[in-house]
Structure 1
Amino acid sequence: MTVCTNLPFEIAESPLWDDRRSLLWFVDINNHAIHSYDPKSGVLNRYQMPALVGSIGLSEDGRLVAALKTGIHLFDPATGELEFIVNPEVDRPGNQLNDGKVGPDGCFWVGSMDENSMNISGALYRVTASGEVTLVKDGIFISNGLAWSPDGKIMYHSDGLSSTVKAFDFDVATGTISNERDFFTFDHEEFGWPDGATMDVHGNYWSAGIFRGKINQVSPEGKLLRTLQMPVLATTMPCLGGDDVPTLFVTSLASDVDDVRQEGTLLSCEIDVAGVPSYRFSVADLTLS
């Protein structure tokens, strides 16, 4: 594994490959920052946000969709402009938005959690560019693990209270889920708790096993194919990207395990499988102010 930058991060999360710009985007949640990383030049750029930023997605118009403590926004890296869309949790001030991704339906799917990780007050939402919010699931501890199969017909999701990743049938036309079922249960003592996830072109689900330093690859049939040991323990999310050579990127958070301090970081290595290109937030019907 290669350490991409020597800068320490508090909670590096939501790595996202941008195939148009050939950049990796990710967030540092508690430091209120979005970062871009150019693997070819090694250049790291920081974009300061006004609040906690839990996750990001790509937009069709070149902007990013960002889940801040204050709600869902569109962010333009070229100008620094931040445009508010909607706050799906205006009635839950003790929560913060967490893991989020753009789905095959062109909407931003984002979950939440209690900001102190004490209460089961989280939920999962589907958000459109016009600000329409659908509550998809409620009663979640820490919403995590979002990913979709390459054909967009299966959605995966996990809850920090459980070591089981769930699978759902996904209707791309309506953006609805059905047929909830257990997909894979991790032995968290060995493989870590399932955190953020990504998908490869063969339909394998890649999950970060937090506090065990693992990246776990699970087949569409729910069989563990391999486990990669990272040089850090608090892995938060994998991302499969790269231009010429498929690359695995991994984010992590700062942790103290066995009295050893590890800062959050961004890691990368060449890998033998490509990822599914990121979906983009549909803004076609959005009237910009």
Structure 2
Amino acid sequence: MTEIIEFSGKTLSDTNSVLGEGPSYDPDTNTIWWFNILGKELHELNLTTNEKKVHALPMMASVLARVDAERQLISTEEGLFVRNVDGGALTFYAPLENGKPENRTNDGRTHPSGSLWISTMSKRAEAQAGAIYHVAQGAKVTKLFDGISIPNSICFSPDGTIGYFTDTRANCLMRVLLDPQTGLPAGEPIVLVDSTEEPGGLDGSVVDADGYIWNARWGAGCVDRYSPDGLRIARYKVPAAQPSCPAFIGENVDRLAVTTAWEGMDEDSRSADPLAGALLELGVTVRGVVEPAYIL
């Protein structure tokens, strides 16, 4: 029986992003970064000072990976770019899908090896138009899986031996064995969680220090926690219908933030969901892990 937990958290940022996504945490500065994909914005919130900044971007972007104190790697509709933290200058790093201007990047995460998994999808969410790629040191790009409509839930076990992902439209969480030294698949994906008969869709996920998967369930207003064998053990309600992705935050990475969105909502739905698009904190204590830096 899944334990249902009412929301006891707070709003970290009430900026209502059309499509809040891709939260990541920098432990060196106690800062959380996230994107408003459709609004072409990168958001920054210092958790020590509560200083909030919004950085305009020249294109849609969705995932940020720490490189070092001065640089970040961001995924965009025009490929991968290195971003200078001070000033925001972008330097092209690697192409993803040259010749596919109808696609953009979506979900992604850095593997413990220092490589990156990054996904693409159609800007109009066309069926099976997306893919998941592995990006390694030296800008080596390898396609891992294709024929995916809305790729999400890219995350890894703490030791790097297991990868997870989903196609939100198919609504099954996939599990695949990985080479922990490279982040490349060492087997074929299998279904870990089949949620095709449940309301809402599997969206972004993170894995805690004990190997449990925290998944934002788009359209269901909750974050679910799954055991490593795929059993849902808890459902944490959030006051927004479309949570999109969680992230471990805080100096002890023992807090959980979640981005949300109002994409696709009409005026009445938005009025009934005033926190749609806000950055929320779940209000629970977790055993999080710091996401590794990407190795250029």
Shorter-chain-normalised TM-score: which range? over 0.9
Deviation at 1:257, TM superposition (A): 7.0
- 1:116 is matched by which residue type in structure 2? R
Mapped partners of 1:41, 1:135: distance in 2? 41
The 5-angstrom pairing of residues 49-128 of structure 1 reads 49-60=57-68, 62-128=70-136
The question of whether the paired residues in 2 share the 8 Å contact of 1:143 and 1:158 is answered with yes
Deviation at 1:79, TM superposition (A): 2.7
CA RMSD of aligned residues (A): 1.7
Matching residue of 1:186:
195
* Change beyond 3 A, Cα 1:245–1:113: closer
SS at match of 1:20: coil
Higher mean alpha-carbon deviation, 170-179 vs 47-56, is at: 170-179
Provide, for residues 10-55 of structure 1, a one-character-per-residue CA deviation record: whole Å limited to 9, x for no partner: 1111111111111111111011111111223221112221100121
Q: Percent identity?
A: 25
SS at match of 1:98: strand
Matching residue of 2:292:
279
Deviation at 1:258, TM superposition (A): 9.5
Matching residue of 2:206:
198
Structure 2 gap segments, 5+ residues each: 1-8
Mapped partners of 2:126, 2:86: distance in 1? 38
Asked if 1:45 is matched to 2:53, the reply is: yes
Equivalenced residues, count? 282
Provide, for residues 198-250 of structure 1, a one-character-per-residue CA deviation record: whole Å limited to 9, x for no partner: 11111000111001111000001111110011000000011122115721101
Mapped partners of 2:50, 2:111: distance in 1? 29
* Change beyond 3 A, Cα 1:62–1:225: farther
1:9 to 17, 24, 42: 17
Mapped partners of 2:252, 2:127: distance in 1? 44
Matching residue of 1:36:
44
- 1:167 is matched by which residue type in structure 2? R
Deviation at 1:260, TM superposition (A): 2.1
Mapped partners of 1:220, 1:62: distance in 2? 35
Asked if 1:268 is matched to 2:281, the reply is: yes
The question of whether the paired residues in 2 share the 8 Å contact of 1:85 and 1:129 is answered with no
Higher RCO (CA < 8 A, seq sep 6+):
2
TM-score norm. by structure 1 comes to 0.92
The question of whether the paired residues in 2 share the 8 Å contact of 1:111 and 1:124 is answered with yes
Matching residue of 1:286:
none
Deviation at 1:64, TM superposition (A): 1.4
